[in-house]
Amino acid sequence: MSTTLGLALGFALDRALGDPRRWHPVAGFGAGAAALERVMYRDRRVAGAVHEVVAVGSVLALGRVTGRGGWPAVALATWTVLGGTSLARTGRRMADALESGDIAGARALLPALCGRDPAYLDADGLARAALESIAENTSDATVAPLFWGAVAGVPGLLGYRAVNTLDAMIGYRNPRYLRFGWAAARLDDIANLVPARLTGALTVALAPLIGGSASGALAAWRRDARAHPSPNAGVAEAAAAGALGIRLGGPTRYPHGTEPRPVLGDGRSPGGADLRRAVVLSELVQLGALLVVGVSSVTSRKRR
């Protein structure tokens, strides 16, 4: 019960306060991981695997120690690792900019959501990039941390965030990280297998609450997700596209080059209004995930 209480309180703190504005622990971990990379980098998979073990292992050890603090420790760790409120706030600001025709403002906001180069994107491209990021990060920023928090308490919360942060830092298929970042990318894939599918299921179930289509979400998930290069992002993005009746995917430009992405969904291109609906759907899915993991956690403890 202490874990469930801590997750709920941490979720409430994130809703009330958003991310810590100064001295964010995740930013501190990122700085430490970057310093470790400068020492350990070699263009080999084994070097990247050792980097992953050292970085994530240190966080798991910290989680075991701090987890002895009971539900207050779970609550603080949950608040630290969740990013759902900041995600929604940025999504709404992005929708405001797009609907008012402020392309420069939308481009300035995009780096807070994803790593694409906004200079090459028009209004449709910005809306698509933001919506894909909202869909994927609904899982990464909230559903997955809650899932792992329910499974393993504070170590699960902090360990997942370390894995996901390292993937965002070095899990790229570019010349520098193709081998060194391989372990980070694969471990992130494994960590998100269940949470991404929970996100997809909740998207299907909750789509009607925003005037979306549950059947469309399920159909797009089953038809399109497997073509995505990520086994997890494809689930979240395809389900969101089907729920909203829009089309995502296509050529995607990153700083390291352009990557082809499969088409997800079979509707029109998204706009600012679709992005606003996606934010509401994301918030519903996040709340649904809290309820699911809370009920599951309590039920499993009663069975023991």
Count of CB atoms situated within 10 Å of the CB of 49 = 16
**Percentage of the chain modeled with pLDDT above 90:** 83
**Locus of tokens 């991981």:** 33
Predicted local confidence at residue 157, as pLDDT: 97
Over the chain, what is the mean pLDDT? 93
HSE-CB for 58 with a 13 A CA cutoff:
10
Predicted local confidence at residue 107, as pLDDT: 95
| Integer Cα distance of 285 and 199 in angstroms | 7
Q: How far is CA 67 from CA 56, 60, 186, in A?
A: 16, 10, 27
Predicted local confidence at residue 256, as pLDDT: 64
pLDDT bin (cut points 50, 70, 90) of residue 208 is very high
Q: Dmax of the chain from CA atoms?
A: 57
2 in Cβ contact with 71 (< 8 Å): yes
Query: Is a pLDDT exceeding 80 seen at residue 158?
Result: yes
Domain region containing 214: 2-303
Predicted local confidence at residue 303, as pLDDT: 67
Instruction: Please state the separation of Cα 138 from the chain's center in Å.
Output: 5
209 in Cβ contact with 254 (< 8 Å): no
Predicted local confidence at residue 116, as pLDDT: 83
| Integer Cα distance of 197 and 144 in angstroms | 10
Q: Token pair of 36, please?
A: 């470790």
| Integer Cα distance of 214 and 204 in angstroms | 5
pLDDT tens-digit series, residues 212-261: 999 999 999 999 999 999 999 999 999 999 999 999 998 777 666 677 78
From 39, 54, 38, select the one nearest 184 (Cα to Cα). Answer: 54
Query: 14-23, 120-129, 246-255 — which one is most confidently predicted on average?
Result: 120-129
Q: pTM (2 decimals)? A: 0.93
Q: What is the DSSP letter of 141?
A: I
pLDDT bin (cut points 50, 70, 90) of residue 120 is confident
**Locus of tokens 């420069």:** 104
Q: Phi and psi of 173, rounded to 5°?
A: -100, 50
Mean pLDDT value across residues 156-164: 97
Residue 257, strand partner residues: 254
Counted domains in the chain: 1
217 in Cβ contact with 281 (< 8 Å): no
Query: Is a pLDDT exceeding 90 seen at residue 24?
Result: no
**Locus of tokens 């798991």:** 60
Name the least confident of 26-30, 150-154, 251-255, 290-294.
Answer: 251-255
Q: Phi and psi of 23, rounded to 5°?
A: 55, 45
Mean pLDDT value across residues 178-182: 97
Task: Decide which of 187 and 27 is more confident.
Answer: 187
| Integer Cα distance of 245 and 220 in angstroms | 10
pLDDT tens-digit series, residues 31-74: 999 999 999 999 999 999 999 999 999 999 999 999 999 999 99
**Percentage of the chain modeled with pLDDT above 70:** 97
| Integer Cα distance of 203 and 243 in angstroms | 7
Predicted local confidence at residue 119, as pLDDT: 86
Residues 6+ apart with CB under 8 A from 201: none
Q: Token pair of 62, please?
A: 């910290």
First to last CA, the chain: 13
